[in-house]
Amino acid sequence: MFTIIHLLLNYIQYLESNIVWLLQFICRHIPLRQMAYDDIHSPAYQKFKTDRLPTIVKFQKQDYRLLIPYFEWCYGKKIRPIAHRGGRTVGEDVCCPRCEAPHMFIYDNNGGRGAFKCKVCGQCFVNGVVATTPLVLACPYCGKMLQPVKKRKHFIVHKCVSLSCHYYTANVKKLPKDLPDDERHKYKLHYIYREFRYNFFDMDMDSLPDNASSLKFSTMSAHIMGLCLTYHVNLSLSLRKTAQALKDVHNISISHTMVANYARTAAAVIKPFVDHYPYERSDTFIGDETYIKVRGVKGFVWFIMDAVSRSVIGYRVSADRATGSCIMAMRMAFNGLKQLPKTFRFVADGYSVYPLAAQQFELKENDPLKFGITPVIGLTNNDAVSTLFRPFKQKIERLNRTFKTSYRVACGYDNFEGANYNVSLWVAYYNFLRPHMAMGYSKTLNHISDFSAADNMPAKWQILLRLGQDKILQLQTVS
């Protein structure tokens, strides 16, 4: 018995010595800083980050007759009237717009040119201008007031111009030592906040277009409309080739203009059902944008898909690559979600509109959603984040290539209206009608029980039209 205990003690000491050796090896050759991602500290990635929200300083009226004894009680020093020197005086009609302190407590702040500062509350003002601004945006690092430096279409860029700001000095220290001064503009150094002038959460996303035609058929039938959608969307035939296929295969004479009207009307009816369908959502969303051509001018399509179900849960066609379009696509993806999982992650590329859109969701008045953006930057894995989450980005890149197979047939769109209905129909086909590789090419991404009564694709399109009509009636009843 004694021998067994002795052997066990020796073995424990041997393991302890090995653990100590491994700890020493780690401390000497594997720095703990290596555990942090490189892009957290690199100044090259600073421009891809969105700064935290500014400090909002609200304007509040004060009374100097209460502030003077309060400061004396707090600091033991009484605020006395100003003894002006050099012959400078402040008119008796000048008083502080914030605490109403009289002229004997007012500094001449710029040598008689009309700017003043209150000694009691520290308010700077111009005589004759009442300082009733409801709020002031201040830098969260140094407390200095932000300056509006640029005005864009949808937002105003506010910037902290202080050279003594902790944020600025910390970013300057990260710059390369041999960097010339004329190269500093390539790096983001100052704190920046973008104030959006539009509320993208109040915009209606379910309104029907004015030019949507009726589903009452005079010469054709619902089956012919289903055939048009099958050839045009499922088989990616152009409008003219769809009309030609109907003539050659089914002996149905129809113009390409009528095919376009059918597609536009079907998109208007099916879109509410596709947008409000209760998709199974996981804790990882993936977002990306790809370009299209509209009359030779570049436009963009935004896609947001669920990483597990692979369904397209958000999309948007836009003429620009701005933050507003990204917010509208995200609104569709987060439709019906009141709270996000603790492990939620949104994977996107390094484009700065994604963090800006996420920041606007945090500022929502009703049901705010707080989440971060995991950036996968570039085409090569130059940092640990891109290496770890590159497979997620590849999923949505594969989705873009699948979309482009139908887009290349059209060789661009004639207008954004046509692009909108084409993308809406393609998303409906991708989510509900297309056999997917993840399902072994035998099932669709989302199962609809009503499709069991349909034995062909035109019948399934007719069922989608009926479900879209039911959803429109439901939305009208709720509103």
For 151-176, what is each residue's pLDDT tens digit? Answer: 887 788 999 999 999 999 999 988 88
Q: What domain count does the chain have? A: 3
Residue 116: inside a domain = yes
Residues 283 and 414 in one domain: yes
pLDDT band at 207, cuts 50/70/90? low
What pLDDT is recorded for position 204? Answer: 66
Residues 356 and 453 in one domain: yes
Residues 152 and 116 in one domain: no
Residue 212: inside a domain = no
pLDDT digits (tens, 9 = 90+) for 262-276: 888 898 899 999 999
pLDDT digits (tens, 9 = 90+) for 282-298: 999 999 999 888 888 88
Residues 75 and 173 in one domain: no
Residue 343: inside a domain = yes
Residue 417: inside a domain = yes
Residue 362: inside a domain = yes
Residues 324 and 469 in one domain: yes
Chain-centroid distance, C-alpha 179: 33
Range of lowest pLDDT (28-42, 136-150, 245-259, 306-320)? 28-42
Residues 145 and 177 in one domain: yes
Q: Which tokens sit at 320?
A: 């620009």
Residues 349 and 420 in one domain: yes
Residues 320 and 188 in one domain: no
Residue where a domain terminates, one of 86, 103, 126: 126
Is 154 in contact with 198 (CB distance < 8 Å)? yes
Provide the residue range defining the domain that includes 440: 268-478
Residues 419 and 274 in one domain: yes
pLDDT surpassing 90 at residue 212: no
What pLDDT is recorded for position 205? Answer: 65
Q: Helices 256-275 and 222-229 sit at what angle, rounded to 10 degrees?
A: 80
What pLDDT is recorded for position 229? Answer: 93
Residues 180 and 106 in one domain: no
Residue 7: inside a domain = no
Residues 363 and 444 in one domain: yes
Residues 183 and 296 in one domain: no
Residue 159: inside a domain = yes
Share of the chain above pLDDT 70, in %: 89
pLDDT surpassing 50 at residue 148: yes
b/e string for 187-216 if b means 16 or more Cβ within 10 A? Answer: bbbbbbbbebeeebeeeeeeeeeeeeeeee
Q: Which tokens sit at 359?
A: 């920041």
Chain-centroid distance, C-alpha 82: 52
Residue 106: inside a domain = yes
Residue where a domain terminates, one of 78, 97, 126: 126
Residue where a domain terminates, one of 196, 219, 241: 196
Distance CA 135, CA 60 (A): 9
| CB hemisphere CA count around 221 (13 angstroms) | 5
The CATH number linked to 439 is: 3.30.420.10
pLDDT band at 34, cuts 50/70/90? very low
